[in-house]
C-alpha cells in the first residue's frame, strides 16, 4: 500500500507508516494520504482520484467540512480520540498518585509512610463526562477491575460502565458521588457544567475519596474545594485545570497538603505528534489487514 | 457451593464468597474452605474428607508443606500472585508520576509546567525480574501498547515481552537499558542481584529515562544513583525501596529534584486482606463456572 505524507513531511508519521507495513510514495502514486502540516484550504491541490483513504490530523473536523474539502469516494479518518489517550493517561497518573499518596511522598524530607494509601484494584471510579477521554480512561482502568459509574448528558448507558446517570439528575449524581473512591471530571465546559462540583457535591463524597479534574477549571467551585480539603471532607484533589487558571502565586491550593496541582500538562503540544503517529500506525495496519479503521468520518453526521 | 471461612472469620473474605455467588456454611457442611487467621499447625483439626478445595492465605506455602498439612484429594490454591498486584500498581503509579513529572508538580509553588513530560503510550519499558510483580505490571501496562523488554534469570521468553534477556548477559542487559524509556526493577534480592544497577548501567540508560525500584534497595548502587541524578545521566528515579533503608533524615536523595521516594509503601499491611479477598472472589467465581482456579498449588513442585 503506497502512502504519501504531506504536504509537510514529518519523520514520526513516516516511521509510523513504515512500522505498520505501509510503503511511502510520491503523492501521484499514492492510494492513501496522511495529511499533515496544512489546513483544509490546500487540500484540493493534493487530493486526486487515486486516493482511497485520507488520514486527517485533527480530532475535530469542522474546518474541513466548512471548507467543503471532504467528499468523493475516499474514506476519511480523523484523529478523534487519539489525543484523548494522553489526557486519560494523565488522569490515571493523578488517580494513582492520589491513591498512593505520592504528592505527600514528593514533599517529604524524612522516611515516613503516609496514611491512607489505597489500591485502585476493585475501586469504584466515577467518570463525569464519558466522551473520548472518559472512554480512554476506562480502557486504562480495565486491568484494575474497577467498577465505573458514569455521568453523561443523555444518560445513555456507557459501554463498560456499571451504571450511567444523566448529568441533570442531581439526586442520582449525588448518590454516585457518595459511592465513589475516585471521581474524575472529564466533561466539556458548558453553561450547564459550570461549578458542577460545588459544596453540596463535595459533601456527598466519601472522606477517603479523591477528586481528579482533567477537564476545565470552571467545572469545580474552587472556594468550596478549598474548604472541603481544609476540613477533610475528601482525601484530596488532583487538578490539571483550575479556576482561576493559571493559579496565581500564593493561591491556597499551592499550599494545601491534600492537593496536587499539575499546571494543565495533560496534553502538551509536544505529545500531539506522537499521538497522531500512533493513530497513523494503527490505521495503516488495519487498512492492510482489511480491518475497520479508527476515527472514520461520517460525513452525514458531520464528525 | 458451600464454603467455610475460618478458623478466624473475616468479613471481607465472607463478602467476597457471597459476591462471587458462593454460600457461606458451617465447616461440617462445607465443600470448600477459605483458611484464614491461623497457620498450618491447626489445619488438621479443620480439614475433612468433604472439603474439595482449600484457599490458603499465603503466597509462599513452604510452612504448609513443611508441616505436611497439604495432601489428600483436595485442590489447594495459594495467594501466589495476589499480593503482587498492589506492588505492580505502585510501580505503575511511579512510572506515570515520572513520565508526567508529578514529583515536580507536587513541590511547585507556582504555575509552571515542568519540562520533559512524556507519554507511556508506545514507550519501551524494561522489567528487570519478570516474576509475579513483573507480570502483573505487564497486565497493567497492556492498554498503553508499550514494548516490554524483560530480564530474568533463565532467559526463557516471558510471555508478552518483546524480548527476554538473561540476567547474567551483561552486554544484553546493557543494550536493553540503553533502549528503555522506563526501567522497573522487580527482581528478588540475592547475592547475584546486589548492586545490579551501578554506574555502568546508569550510564547506559537514556537521559530521558526513569528508574523505578519496587524490589529491594540492595539492587541499586545508591552512590552511583546519586551521581547519575545530580549529573542528569537519567531523568529521574522513583524508589519505593532504598539502601540504606529507611533513608536517614538529610540523605541526599530526599533533596534531589529528580528523585521521588515512597517509603516502602507499595504493599502496606492493610492492603493484604483486600488482595486476598479479590483472590477468593475470583476463585469462587471460577469454581462455580468450572474454570481453572488461580494459584493452584503443585504439590510435587512445592509451590
CATH number of the structural domain spanning residue A125: 3.40.50.720
The reply to whether residue A112 touches residue B142, judged by beta carbons under 8 angstroms, is no
Q: What is the pLDDT of residues B177-222, one digit of tens each?
A: 999 999 999 998 888 889 999 999 999 999 999 999 999 999 999 9
Question: Of the candidates A188, A192, A182, A204, which has an alpha carbon nearest to the alpha carbon of residue A94?
Answer: A182
Across residues B260-273, what is the average pLDDT?
Answer: 93
> What is d(CA A270, CA A10) in angstroms, rounded to the nearest whole number?
13
Across residues B92-113, what is the average pLDDT?
Answer: 97
Select which of B89, B175, B245, B256 is catalytic.
B245
pLDDT at A151: 95
Residue A303 covered by a domain: no
Q: Calculate Rg over the CA atoms of chain B.
A: 22
pLDDT at A72: 84
Q: What is the pLDDT of residues B117-171, one digit of tens each?
A: 999 999 999 999 988 899 999 999 999 999 999 999 899 999 999 999 999 998 9
ipTM: 0.87
Residue A169 covered by a domain: yes
- Residue B72 domain boundaries: 2-82+270-289
Phi, psi of A249 (to 5 degrees): -50, 140
Residues facing B33 on adjacent strands: B4, B54
SS3 B168: coil
Question: Is the same domain home to A68 and A93?
Answer: no
DSSP category for residue A119:
-
CB of A94 within 8 Å of a chain B CB? The answer is: yes
Across residues B59-77, what is the average pLDDT?
Answer: 87
Contacts for B216 with CB less than 8 Å, ≥ 6 apart:
B188, B189, B241
The reply to whether residue A121 touches residue B278, judged by beta carbons under 8 angstroms, is yes
Across residues A230-257, what is the average pLDDT?
Answer: 97
Question: Is the same domain home to B44 and B173?
Answer: no
The reply to whether residue A89 touches residue B108, judged by beta carbons under 8 angstroms, is no
Mean pLDDT of chain B: 94
pLDDT band at B97 (very low <50, low <70, confident <90, very high): very high
> What is d(CA B244, CA B222) in angstroms, rounded to the nearest whole number?
8
The reply to whether residue A93 touches residue B112, judged by beta carbons under 8 angstroms, is no
In chain B, which ranges are E strands?
Answer: 2-7, 23-24, 32-36, 53-55, 75-77, 124-128, 147-152, 163-166, 182-185, 210-213, 236-239, 259-261
The reply to whether residue A93 touches residue B106, judged by beta carbons under 8 angstroms, is no
Could you tell me if A61 and A296 are in contact, meaning their C-beta atoms sit under 8 angstroms apart?
Answer: no
Into how many domains does chain B fold?
2
Question: Is the same domain home to A180 and A240?
Answer: yes
Task: Give how far A49 is from chain B: nearest CA, Å.
Answer: 34
pLDDT at A65: 87
Reply yes or no on whether the pLDDT at A131 is more than 80.
yes
Q: What is the pLDDT of residues B228-244, one digit of tens each?
A: 999 999 999 999 999 99
Question: Is the same domain home to B68 and B135?
Answer: no
pLDDT at B249: 97
Quickly count: other Cβ atoms within 10 Å of residue A233's Cβ: 19
Residue B294 covered by a domain: no
Residue B296 covered by a domain: no
Which of B 98-117 lie inside 8 A of A, CB atoms?
Answer: 99-103, 105-114, 117
pLDDT at B299: 80
Question: Is the same domain home to A119 and A170?
Answer: yes
Question: Is the same domain home to B108 and B159?
Answer: yes
HSE (side-chain half, CA atoms, 13 Å) at B232: 2
Counts of helices then strands in chain A (DSSP H, E) = 11, 12
Across residues B89-105, what is the average pLDDT?
Answer: 98
SS3 A221: coil
Q: What is the pLDDT of residues A100-118, one digit of tens each?
A: 999 999 999 999 999 999 9
pLDDT at B62: 83
Residue A294 covered by a domain: no
Which of B111, B144, B260 lies nearest to residue A246, judging by beta carbons?
B111
CB of A147 within 8 Å of a chain B CB? The answer is: no
Which H or E element spans position A164? strand A163-166
Residue B299 covered by a domain: no
pLDDT at B301: 73
Strand B2-7 to strand B147-152: parallel, antiparallel, or no bridges (unpaired)?
A: unpaired
Which of B103, B113, B121 lies nearest to residue A89, judging by beta carbons?
B121
Question: Is the same domain home to B246 and B285?
Answer: no
Reply yes or no on whether the pLDDT at B262 is more than 90.
yes
SS3 A22: coil
Which of A93, A112, A278 lies nearest to residue B102, judging by beta carbons?
A93
Could you tell me if A147 and A126 are in contact, meaning their C-beta atoms sit under 8 angstroms apart?
Answer: no
pLDDT at B300: 77
Contacts for B272 with CB less than 8 Å, ≥ 6 apart:
B83
Question: Is the same domain home to A155 and A239?
Answer: yes
Specify whether A245 is catalytic: yes
DSSP category for residue A47:
-
Question: Is the same domain home to A134 and A210?
Answer: yes
pLDDT band at B290 (very low <50, low <70, confident <90, very high): very high
Residue B246 covered by a domain: yes
Q: How many residues does chain B have?
A: 303
Reply yes or no on whether the pLDDT at B88 is more than 80.
yes
Question: Is the same domain home to A29 and A96?
Answer: no
Question: Is the same domain home to A100 and A192?
Answer: yes
pLDDT at A70: 86
Across residues A169-188, what is the average pLDDT?
Answer: 95
pLDDT band at B261 (very low <50, low <70, confident <90, very high): very high
pLDDT at A290: 93
Percent of chain B whose predicted confidence (pLDDT) is above 70: 99
Phi, psi of B156 (to 5 degrees): -65, 135
Question: Is the same domain home to B113 and B195?
Answer: yes
> What is d(CA B233, CA B209) in angstroms, rounded to the nearest whole number?
9
Residue B49 covered by a domain: yes
Amino acid at each position: 500500500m503506497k502512502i504519501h505524507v504531506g504536504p509537510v513531511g514529518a519523520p514520526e508519521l513516516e516511521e509510523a507508516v513504515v512500522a505498520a507495513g505501509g510503503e511511502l510514495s510520491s503523492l501521484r502514486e499514492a492510494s492513501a494520504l496522511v495529511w499533515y502540516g496544512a489546513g483544509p484550504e490546500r487540500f484540493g491541490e493534493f487530493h486526486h482520484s487515486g486516493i482511497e483513504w485520507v488520514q486527517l490530523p485533527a480530532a475535530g473536523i469542522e474546518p474541513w467540512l466548512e471548507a467543503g474539502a471532504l467528499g468523493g469516494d475516499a474514506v476519511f479518518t480523523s484523529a478523534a480520540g487519539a489525543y484523548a489517550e494522553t489526557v486519560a493517561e494523565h488522569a490515571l497518573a493523578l488517580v494513582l498518585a492520589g491513591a498512593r499518596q505520592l504528592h505527600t511522598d514528593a514533599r517529604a524530607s524524612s522516611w515516613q509512610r503516609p496514611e491512607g494509601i489505597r489500591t485502585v484494584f476493585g475501586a469504584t471510579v466515577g467518570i463525569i463526562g464519558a466522551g473520548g477521554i472518559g472512554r480512554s480512561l476506562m480502557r486504562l482502568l480495565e486491568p484494575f477491575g474497577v467498577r465505573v459509574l458514569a455521568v453523561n448528558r443523555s444518560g445513555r448507558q456507557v459501554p463498560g460502565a456499571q451504571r450511567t446517570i444523566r448529568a441533570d439528575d442531581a439526586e442520582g449524581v449525588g448518590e454516585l458521588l457518595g459511592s465513589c473512591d475516585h471521581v474524575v471530571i472529564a466533561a466539556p465546559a458548558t453553561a450547564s457544567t459550570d461549578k458542577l462540583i460545588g459544596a453540596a457535591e463535595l459533601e456527598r463524597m466519601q472522606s477517603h475519596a479523591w477528586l481528579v479534574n482533567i477537564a476545565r477549571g470552571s467545572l469545580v467551585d474552587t472556594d468550596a474545594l478549598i474548604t472541603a480539603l481544609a476540613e477533610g471532607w475528601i482525601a484530596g484533589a488532583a487538578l490539571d485545570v483550575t479556576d482561576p487558571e493559571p493559579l496565581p502565586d500564593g493561591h491556597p491550593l499551592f499550599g494545601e497538603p491534600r492537593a496536587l496541582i499539575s499546571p494543565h500538562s495533560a496534553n502538551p503540544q509536544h505529545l500531539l505528534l506522537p499521538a497522531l503517529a500512533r493513530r497513523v500506525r494503527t490505521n495503516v495496519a488495519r487498512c492492510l489487514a482489511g480491518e475497520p479503521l479508527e476515527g472514520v468520518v461520517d460525513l452525514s453526521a458531520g464528525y
